[in-house]
Amino acid sequence: MSGPSSSSTGTVPDTGTVTGTDNTRPDTATIWAWLDDVPDPEIPVISVVDLGIVRDVSWTEDERLLVTLTPTYSGCPATAVIALDVETALKQRGVEAVELRTQLAPPWTTDWLNDKGRDRLRAYGIAPPNPQGGVPDACPHCHSTRVSRVSQFGSTPCKAQWRCDSCLEPFDYFKCL
Ligand SMILES: [Zn+2]
């Protein structure tokens, strides 16, 4: 009864895992690049870095990697997923000592979404948040400004359903502030 289970699932090949001495720590620019590969769980076309959730990356004196995260809004169900994804991504690349710190002030705003993220949202058919107010500035498909709201509620809490009155295509608007 004590034999190992002989399920031959095979081993997942390690990709990019850093094995070796503890002294080979990557610099923070490299860490930022890695985190830029971690997709937002709700809108996977943008990364958690695009979204502005990752506020700071630094090494502590005792060689731990401190990552500061600000959730998009308190109670956002994606927050716990993002924290886990960030930690997993770093550990997959060999950073074992990861400390995540949640910073609630200043609160996250859509202004923290970077230009790359805004472009990616548009390319994906989602109107990026409009700094001027709570309405999309244009249809992400045809760029018409004749748009109307269909529903306050989209496929996730951060999105609302809108429709373009020019091309008649529905689209999501990223509304969280
Ligand atoms: Zn349109």
Ligand 1 center–CA 41 separation, angstroms: 26
Q: Average model confidence (pLDDT) for the chain?
A: 85
Ligand 1 center–CA 169 separation, angstroms: 6
Ligand 1 center–CA 162 separation, angstroms: 10
Ligand 1 center–CA 145 separation, angstroms: 8
CA distances, 28 to each of 8, 18, 56, 67 (Å): 39, 16, 9, 10
What's 39's DSSP letter? Answer: B
Task: Say yes or no to pLDDT of 149 above 50.
Answer: yes
Query: Which band of pLDDT confidence, cut at 50, 70 and 90, is reported for residue 14?
Result: very low
Query: Which band of pLDDT confidence, cut at 50, 70 and 90, is reported for residue 113?
Result: very high
Ligand 1 center–CA 26 separation, angstroms: 45
- Specify the range with the lowest mean pLDDT, choosing from 7-16, 31-40, 46-55, 101-110: 7-16
- Measured distance CA(113)–CA(118) in Å, rounded: 7
Q: Residues 104-124: what's their mean pLDDT?
A: 92
Ligand 1 center–CA 140 separation, angstroms: 7
Ligand 1 center–CA 122 separation, angstroms: 12
Ligand 1 center–CA 42 separation, angstroms: 23
Q: Classify residue 11 by burial, with Cβ atoms within 10 Å: 0-12, 13-18, 19+.
A: exposed
List of domains in the chain: 28-102 (3.30.300.130), 126-174 (no CATH)
79-92 pLDDT tens trace: 888 999 999 999 99
pTM given for the model:
0.76
pLDDT at position 75 is 61
**Spatial contact of 90 and 31, defined as CB atoms under 8 Å apart:** yes
Ligand 1 center–CA 61 separation, angstroms: 52
